[in-house]
Amino acid sequence: METILLKNIENPNSADIDEYIKAGGYRSLQKAIEMQPKAIIDEVKKSGLRGRGGAGFPTGMKWTFASSDPKTPRYLLCNADEGEPGTFKDRPILEKNPHLLIEGMAIAGYAIGAEYGYIYLRGEYPGAKDILDTAIRQAYDRGLLGDNILGRAVRFHLSVHQGAGAYICGEETALIESLEGERGQPRIKPPFPVNVGAWSKPTVINNVETLSNIPYIIETGAEAYSKIGSRDCPGPKLYCVSGHVERPGVYELPMGINLRDIIYTHAGGIRGGEKLKAVIPGGVSTPILPPDKIDCPMDFVNMPKHGSMLGSGAVMVFDDTVCLVKVCYRALRFFDHESCGKCTPCREGTGWLSNILGRIEHGKGRDGDIELLLDVAGNMLGKTFCPLGDGAASVVQNFIRHFRPEFEGHIRDAGCRLQN
């Protein structure tokens, strides 16, 4: 497959504007500003593009909602707060193909009528900050950003807003709070950001990978684009594979590729010929799958039918040397650390889940602890302010659903057999 998102990244100077233009870059922006904004949105709608941040919301629809809200100004935000454990798919775009994102944002800004855009970049990517700042400066110098883009009366200003280590800011309303200079705690929805977003104005928030699809859609047209990937979820997708595979890394593949193929064909199978024990298919928040459940098309529509979710496309592979109680405990320590504290079920629930898992992992588990975990998780699910708490609860439920004997063994044997 031709690469669209990771095009040219083997070129050591791929982040430079001249290299990007030489490879055909910014032609889509030129084409887009000769189109009517509505025609661009229609093209994106027709392409079938869905948001790559994890929720899979149709991008064109989001753009329509914001652009049809009469309030102005409107804002365009790029969610580059890639923090879901296991996820490192946006990093190659940010570090090696920043102009693809900038071009996508300039087109999106023009389409929805936003004159200001911000890239909310996680604090853990200091290298990407410098690269993006340089790329943005280059784009201004060439008249591709600013007050008169390509000599036309089109205005779009772009800057980077650096986060400071808060996973919750990947949630779009928490991201807005953080952009506004507040503690990153989520807002109640509705109203949705498309109507009442940054500074209470209509705001589109799209993931890095989503926006990076836009130049290709404009250049080749929705019809050609929608032939890539699966029917309900077209386009290319970045899958980032980590854990016990021969070749971990970021793979650009057609959306809907089988999870087994990602692991065994593209990532080279299980390291050292070990036995597969489990896969988390879409970042730590998505339901874990046992080896007999990995024949599933990796897209937003099909994964829920197979008991999990596409999430961020972060495939985490575990061989049978891994203690899943320990993995579950580490995941819950993460959620406990990252819970923003706004709502009680999440703030208290993540703490208790982590504590109970900790005592099981450390050989101090008690009879009834598994039921207690499920009880706490059940009291969180659907009752938290934002999906962080749901994610934490569902991790515990799904680890126990598929690997209950391992938890029982830890309690019975007062510790882990795998770690002596």
Partner 1 sequence: MLSEKAIKQVDEIIARYPAKRSAVMPALYIAQMEFGWLTPEAIEAVSEATGVPKATVKGVATFYAMYKHKPIGRHLIQLCTNVSCMIFGAERLVDIIKNKYGLEAGGTTADGRFSLVIMECIGACGTAPAMLVDTDFHENLTEENIVKILENYK
User: Which residues here bind partner 1, judged by CB under 8 A?
Assistant: 73, 82-88, 90-91, 116, 118, 122-127, 157, 159, 161-167, 178-184, 199, 240-244, 248-250, 280, 284, 314, 316, 318, 322, 326-327, 330-331, 334, 337-338, 340
Least Å distance between CB 121 and partner 1? Answer: 11
Least Å distance between CB 83 and partner 1? Answer: 6
Nearer to partner 1, 27 or 157 (CB): 157
Nearer to partner 1, 99 or 201 (CB): 201
Least Å distance between CB 352 and partner 1? Answer: 19
Nearer to partner 1, 183 or 417 (CB): 183
Least Å distance between CB 177 and partner 1? Answer: 10
Contact 108, 214 (CB under 8 A): yes
Least Å distance between CB 159 and partner 1? Answer: 5
Strand 157-162 and strand 249-254: pairing?
A: unpaired
Nearer to partner 1, 14 or 185 (CB): 185
Give CA–CA dist 61/42, Å, rounded: 9
Nearer to partner 1, 302 or 312 (CB): 312
Least Å distance between CB 120 and partner 1? Answer: 10
Taking CB atoms within 8 Å and a gap of at least 24, the contacts of 359-365 are: 360/325, 360/329, 360/407, 360/410, 360/411, 361/323, 361/325, 361/326, 361/329, 361/410, 361/416, 362/415, 363/410, 363/413, 363/414, 363/415, 363/416, 364/414, 365/407, 365/410, 365/411, 365/414
Least Å distance between CB 305 and partner 1? Answer: 25
Give CA–CA dist 361/328, Å, rounded: 9
Q: Phi, psi at residue 128, to the nearest 5°?
A: -65, -30
Nearer to partner 1, 83 or 287 (CB): 83
3-class secondary-structure state, position 399: helix
Nearer to partner 1, 27 or 330 (CB): 330
> To 5 degrees, how large is the angle CA 169–CA 393–CA 305?
95
Sign of CA dihedral 406, 412, 417, 419: positive
Contact 45, 61 (CB under 8 A): yes
Nearer to partner 1, 137 or 227 (CB): 137
Cβ within 8 Å of residue 389, ≥6 positions away: 335, 339, 343, 345, 346, 349, 350, 380, 381, 383
Query: What distance lies between CA 194 and its chain's CA centroid?
Result: 19
Nearer to partner 1, 267 or 400 (CB): 267
Residue type, 303: M
Nearer to partner 1, 148 or 419 (CB): 419
Least Å distance between CB 337 and partner 1? Answer: 6
Q: Which residues of 91-129 are buried (b: 16+ CB within 10 A; e: fewer)?
A: bbbbbbbbbbbbbbbbbbbbbbbbbbbbbbbbeebeebb
Least Å distance between CB 371 and partner 1? Answer: 25
Nearer to partner 1, 168 or 303 (CB): 168
Least Å distance between CB 111 and partner 1? Answer: 21
* Alpha helix (H) residue ranges in 26-114: 27-33, 37-47, 59-67, 90-96, 98-112
Least Å distance between CB 112 and partner 1? Answer: 17
CA-based diameter of the chain, in Å? 73
* Alpha helix (H) residue ranges in 57-207: 59-67, 90-96, 98-112, 126-141, 172-179
